Amino acid sequence: MTAAGVESVDRVLWRARAAAFPPEEFVGQESFVGAGEVLEIARRAGVGPGVRLLDVCCGVAGPGLHVAGALGCEYLGVDASRRSVDRARERAAAAGTAARFEVATVPPLPVGPFDVVLLLETMLAFRDRPALLRAVAGALPLGGRFAFTVEEGVPLTAIERQAMPASDSVWLSTLPRLRADLDRAGLRVTWCAETSRAHRVRVDALVDAYAAAAPALVAAGAGDTVEDLLAAHRLWRRWLGNGRVRTFAVVAEKVRADEG
């Protein structure tokens, strides 16, 4: 609590997110992906001791530090938010996890090469997906892997954009289009698993958790934040439930230079 007896917004949100995940599945993520899913994706991408891992849009690096701590890779996290990177550094130091961080807007990506590039729950925020994929491929050597999660579906309609908070960061694409973009960048899909059902369960729990946290968030001065969170998550719940959107975990290997 603060001196006034009101919890900070960050603390309330952290507690709400933690309540929405089963035991040991919450590691500080701001998404639908659980800790077990994160490790499965990383293992499928061959992450392990000595592997150079670049975590793009790492945020406070909950999933990234979980991977680094569990699998022993050489970890670099990048994010455009200095506040998030500062928090990630604090968390790494507290956990005793060897990790490096940079404040950067991508693309471009930091100079590699990296053995694995990781991008969790952020693919849909990139309107120019081909440019992102070219940058990812450019940071990988032949045989390097791109491990990511993606929300799949046709682009939002004008009406859907009006209903979705921060819709300028929601750029859906169909799976065939994504595969074509990956191929043009020289990246071939080696593993793909649908996660829609598990994520529908997760988003249900998050809606309940944010609704329960609403009074504390309003007291902390974040009334608009909770309204946007609930509106967005209710849309994701509906779309995952009716198949409007599906979610996937994917690993793609760099097999050639991109076509330019």
Annotate 44-108 with DSSP letters as a single string: HTT--TT-EEEEET-TT-HHHHHHHHHH--EEEEEES-HHHHHHHHHHHHHHT---EEEE--SSS
Average pLDDT across the chain, whole number: 93
pLDDT tens digits for range 76-131: 999 999 999 999 999 999 988 889 999 999 999 998 899 999 999 999 999 999 99
pLDDT in tens, 195-227: 999 999 999 999 999 999 999 999 988 888 889
Chain position carrying tokens 């007291």? 219
Domain limits, the chain: 9-254
Q: Distance (Å, rounded) from C-alpha 148 to C-alpha 34?
A: 14
CATH number for the domain formed by residue range(s) 9-254: 3.40.50.150
